[in-house]
Structures are given as C-alpha cells and as structure tokens.
Amino acid sequence: MKKQINTKSPSGTAPTYAYALPADMNSLTISDHHVKKKFVPAVENQWLEKGHHTVEIFNKYKMKVAITSTGNNLESTLDQRFGRCAFFVIYDTETKGMEFLPNPNTDVQEGAGPASVQIVAAKEVKKIVSGEFGIKIKSLLDSLKIQMIVLKQPEKSIKEIIDMLNN
C-alpha cells in the first residue's frame, strides 16, 4: 500500500517521493520515467538518497492498537477474552488518542470472535492486545495482517499497557 504524501525535497533540487510505509513493509519500488528504483526502510524520518530520488519514511512505527478491557477507563484491567471482552480500547500510538468502544458481542452465542475482528478492523488497528484469542480468528487476523499480542497478566491496567506500548 503506497500513499504519496509529500513531494518536497530537502535540498529543493531533486525530485522527491515521500511515502508512508506500513511497519511490515520491507521495501518500496518507485517507477519514474520507465526506470524502477528500489528503496529500503530506514530510521523514522531519515532521508534515503538514491540517484535522483529521495524517499522519506513517515511514521514507520505509528499505528492503532486495540486492547481488550474490563471497563471504560484507564484504571480498568486487561480483559482476558478477545471476542467477548467488555470494551475495546483503540489507542493511536502517534496521536496518543484513545477511544473506548463497548463490545456488542459479549453475550453472543456463536461468532463473537469474527464479529469482534470486524469491529477492530474497521478502526484500522495493526495490533491487538488480549489475554486469549479463539482458534477461529487466528487465520482471519493473519489475512488482515493484524498482529495478536497475548498478555497473560490480567492485573495489568489499560494505563500500564499503554505505557508498555509507548516504550
């Protein structure tokens, strides 16, 4: 997934192509005048100069993370169940913003896991932190390129988990 977001060169002389690269992307190929050039990611916001092109890496490690929660505040603890958790906390590592979403699937007889995946995928999360994930959803999350993080510490507060994500 390539998204052009900036066309300004730091020196102002060479054509520049700046792209936001997903964290799991390991290279970027740019075609210009029928010539393909390949660039590899570097440290965030570091310019890579190759030939007449410059590429800037933006927000390589910035993403949204879903955390399963027992309540709707930072003092709530990690809910051990993904599909039937009480709330999802959607945390944006770039803006530090968060949103608490009640999970409508807490009492669903069947299909709570896949239905919960749809909720967090709609929020464009790249990682989910929970105590457990049902076996039915692993392949679904893999196909969506959403990473599962299993945390077997139910006493951890949402604030502590967010602090872990920021360090």
Same domain? For 153 and 132 the reply is yes
Q: Which domain range does residue 126 map to?
A: 64-166
pLDDT in tens, the chain (167 residues): 333 333 333 444 444 444 444 444 444 444 444 444 444 444 443 334 344 444 433 344 578 999 999 999 999 999 999 999 999 999 999 899 999 999 999 999 999 999 999 999 999 999 999 999 988 899 999 999 999 999 999 899 999 999 998 87
29 forms bridges with which residues in the sheet?
Answer: 38
DSSP string across 125-156: -SEEEESB--GGGHHHHHHTT-EEEE---TT-
Neighbouring CB atoms inside 10 A of 39's CB total 19
Cα 73 from chain centroid? 21
Same domain flag for 54 and 132: no
Q: What's phi and psi for 83, nearest 5 deg?
A: -65, -30
Between strands 4-6 and 35-39, the pairing is unpaired
Are residue 152 and residue 136 in the same domain, yes or no? yes
